[in-house]
Amino acid sequence: MKRFTTGFAMVASLALAACGGEAETVEAPPEGVVPGLEVTDARLVLAPVAGNPAAVYFDVVYNGERGVSISGASVEGASSAAVHAMMEYNFEMTMAEAGPIALPAGEEKSFEPGGLHIMAFELGEGMEAGGTAEVTLNISGGARHKFDAEIRAAGEER
């Protein structure tokens, strides 16, 4: 067994030398960040009536090799959150929880009023205009992507 271990070490050393020396170290992405996923213009808009849900809007693009999908979301300081979409049902436009949102590589999606958005329910104290809220996107496969959203009052630009 000792000869095998010594032989393996020698072969591994030769392989490293043939490749140009030491192996490169690759930094792991920060926790809560999906490499290639970029969120911009994130904002949480408070409801005009206290106690009603707030809405989170943003633009997102994924510049990875293969597409991913958003399978859910959470908002720090809210009891729960859900990805919603506007859709037609029974010849009327209605809002409902969305299924997974596909993000093909290189394609941008907008989470905006009248379309895709995140609803944040039962906001905790301290969630006030001028502050920030941490939003987490659940990515299919178990990854999570965190970003901050500016908190805006109900009458401010959505």
* Structural domain count, the chain: 1
Q: Does residue 3 lie in a domain region?
A: no
Q: Does residue 55 lie in a domain region?
A: yes
What is the domain extent for residue 61? 27-152
Predicted confidence at residue 22, as pLDDT, reads: 56
**H/E stretch holding 16:** helix 2-18
Q: Does residue 41 lie in a domain region?
A: yes
Predicted confidence at residue 24, as pLDDT, reads: 57
Q: Are 82 and 96 in contact (CB under 8 A)?
A: no
Closest CA to 145 of 63, 87, 52, 24: 63
Q: Does residue 89 lie in a domain region?
A: yes
Note the Cα 88 to chain centre separation in Å: 26
What is the C-alpha to C-alpha distance for residues 37 and 48, in angstroms, rounded to an integer? 31
Predicted confidence at residue 26, as pLDDT, reads: 44
Within 4-53, strands assigned E span: 37-45
CA neighbours closer than 13 Å in the CB half-sphere of residue 53: 14
Q: What is the CATH number of the domain that holds 42?
A: 2.60.40.1890
Q: Does residue 17 lie in a domain region?
A: no
Q: Does residue 132 lie in a domain region?
A: yes
Cα angle at 138 between 104 and 71, to 5 degrees? 60
Q: Does residue 78 lie in a domain region?
A: yes
What tokens does 142 get?
């178990």
Q: Does residue 38 lie in a domain region?
A: yes
Please report, in tens digits, the pLDDT of each residue of the chain (158 residues total).
444 444 444 444 444 444 455 555 544 455 688 999 999 999 999 999 988 999 999 999 999 888 999 999 999 999 999 999 977 778 887 788 899 999 999 999 999 999 999 999 999 988 999 999 999 999 988 999 999 999 999 977 77
For residue 103, the cross-strand partners are: 68
